[in-house]
Structure 1
Amino acid sequence: MGNEVSKKLLLQNQKQQFDEEGYVIVKGLLSAEEVAEIKNTFMKLHAGGPIPNCFSPVSEEEAKGDILKRYPRMMHPHRVNDLAMHYMLHPKVMDVLAELFGEEAIAAQSMFYFKPPGAKGQALHQDNFYLKVEPETCIAAWAAIDPADEENGGIMLVPKTNELAIECPHLADQNVSFTRDEVTIPEGMKVVPANLDAGDVLFFNGSVIHGSYPNKSANRFRRAFICHYAGISTTRIGQYYNPMYTRDGTPRMIKYNLDSGPCGEEFEEAAGPH
């Protein structure tokens, strides 16, 4: 599918920011009606209980005080739900991605994070450590379904780390992070918040260091629908991301990597989706 199907949605300075700093926020890319549809659908899915190979919530008693065990993230919901597939391939999202990649995008992964009050954050990491897109990198589209800020554990990122290679992680503090891998902030760089309103979409390069802190709010969820993409010219990806999908929903198989990536076998879990 060629670039002629895409529409220009970015301003010149937005594309420049993405190229220079590795990220850009597109305000109001999803309408209030679309945000409500996504929120309602995923809350109903959660209420329906476990979905094999997608998510496995447990009871309050089994969670033993860990709210994320009651509200775990959903992995690859596009494989089990038509609405998730629709929004993963949302025309406006695919249009922005075509501008950022300089070619049509193909979708690799969808996720839904509930992040209720009291939930842990996610240690700083780089997406392409997991996706292993070659020869270039992936891009994430992080759609805010609730307002996301520093109080409720909104996303944090390190500008200009898009210029870095993939860093090998160390073990994270699992008192504050539900994931175990963490990368170090490079000297001279700093973490900044990406505060978002519901319907805003944050796009960022697969080398950008990012993560989040715990949700410290009293009663605010920080729900987000997050998808990862590669350019249509991608030749390889991690083994858990096939089939990928073109804009019109056509499945596309890409050669996949079986190795553990640049950091050796000590982080073999990196081969799995995150």
Structure 2
Amino acid sequence: MAVTDIGAAGAHAPALTEAELLRYREDGCTVVRGLFGHDEVDRLCDEFAALHAAGRAVPGHFEPRAGDDPLHRFPRVMQPHEFLPQARRTLLDARLRGVLEALFGEEVLAAQSMFYFKPPGARGQALHQDDFYLRVEPGTCVAAWLACDRIDRDNGGLEVVPGSHRTGLFCPEEADESLSFAREYVPPPAGLAAAPVDMAPGDVLFFDGHLVHGSQPNLSGDRFRRSFIAHYVGRSAERIGRYYRTLSMSGDRVPLPESEGAGPCGTEFAPRGPH
């Protein structure tokens, strides 16, 4: 998979070259190294650490519970930009906007944010396609996946299937519950294979909403694999699932009509007992 080295913390919003855009169109994904500074990543993570330390649920966003499953104690945070200031600033960051507008070729709208703690021992998320959940019409979404830790195969880093974005949306199979917290699984299309993406804090992976991607469990003994994920759509999008409350990159609400069949990113298995 190609890696694009553009942008730096504090720089003006970067743009992609024609060669980089062609590579993105071919693979369906590209990494921008060091787009955010380590200090910015630390401030973002501190906000989520404080949320977890407070020990209270935010209904519809963050609902930790007791249990042996690490994902019970450290569940993902859904739409944190709606109540956390640093998460909102990250979602609407001008550097992300610069890359996204180059990818879409038009103005973009922010549709969703998420934060994954992924502690040691946590299950991953089976290979899937994001637009299966967002149901953007017409077109698709683009994800901006910000690494908040050093991420590799040992702690459950992301895997992508380059080129799979050109094969359309698939009807998922059921995932292996022992490896994935989400039910849906999309096998790599014929002739294509999953490849790991190693990342450092501040790197951002941009990928097409039809790209097949996922992650394995965190097998490290003591390393979290924290990440902030945001989804965006082009301004020409006409419909999106009702869960996704679209905003302009200046933060104004821009409601879109609802599409059918959408849901949160990854339908979770029912809570499990001790394991």
Q: Tell me if TM exceeds 0.5.
A: yes
Secondary structure of residue in 2 paired with 1:251: coil
Query: d(CA) in 1 for partners of 2:88 and 2:57?
Result: 19
Q: CA 1:177–1:170 in 2, change beyond 3 Å: closer, same or farther?
A: same
Partner of 2:254: 252
What residue number does 1:50 align with? 57
Pairwise mapping of residues 117-266 of structure 1 onto structure 2 (< 5 A)? 117-242=120-245, 244-257=246-259, 259-260=260-261
Q: Which amino acid aligns with 1:250?
A: D
Would the aligned equivalents of 1:159 and 1:191 in 2 still touch at CA under 8 Å? yes
**Structure 1 residues 80-126: Cα deviation after superposition (integer angstroms, max 9, x where no partner):** 11221111001100110000000111000000000011000001000
Letter in 1 for 2:29: Y
2:86 maps to: 83
Match of 1:265 in 2: none
The answer to whether the 8 Å contact 1:8/1:99 transfers is no
The answer to whether the 8 A contact 1:29-1:200 is kept is yes
Q: Determine helix, strand or coil for the equivalent of 1:156.
A: strand
Cα displacement (A) at 1:273: 4.2
How many Å separate the matches in 2 of 1:12 and 1:41? Answer: 37
Is structure 2 residue 113 aligned with structure 1 residue 110?
A: yes
- Computed over aligned residues only, the root mean square deviation of the Cα atoms, in angstroms, reads 1.2
Give the aligned residue type for 1:224. Answer: S
On the 8 A contact 2:35/2:202 being kept in 1, the answer is yes
Deviates more, 1:12-21 or 1:106-115: 12-21
Structure richer in helix, relative to its length: 1
Name the CA distance, whole Å, in 1 between partners of 2:14 and 2:41.
Answer: 22
Q: Which residue of 1 aligns with 2:74?
A: 71
Q: Which residue of 2 aligns with 1:17?
A: 23
Distance 1:128 1:186, change over 3 A: same
What is the Cα deviation at residue 38 of structure 1?
A: 0.6
Q: Is the CA contact 2:13–2:97 (under 8 Å) kept in the aligned structure 1?
A: no
Matched, 1:272 2:256: no
Paired residues, number? 254
Unpaired segments ≥5 residues, structure 1: 1-5, 261-269
Instruction: Report how far residue 231 of structure 1 moved.
Output: 0.4
Residue 41 of structure 1 pairs with residue 43 of structure 2: no
Cα deviation, 1:48-98, whole Å, max 9, x if unaligned, reads: 121111011113xxx1x2111000000001111122111100110011000
* Aligned-pair CA distance for 1:153: 0.2
Q: Quick one: distance in 2 between partners of 1:101 and 1:223?
A: 27
Partners of 1:240 and 1:273 within 8 A in 2: no
Whether the 8 Å contact between 1:27 and 1:199 is mirrored in structure 2 is yes
Q: CA deviation at 1:8?
A: 4.0
In 2: Cα distance, 1:87 partner to 1:200 partner: 13
- 1:266 is aligned to none
Q: Distance in 1 between matches of 2:122 and 2:174?
A: 19
Q: Structure 2: which 5+ runs fail to align?
A: 1-11, 267-275
Letter in 1 for 2:53: A
Equivalent position of 1:3 in the other structure: none
Moved over 3 A (4+): none
- More displaced stretch, 133-142 vs 7-16: 7-16
Shift in Å, 1:7: 4.3
Distance 2:264 2:21 in 1: 31
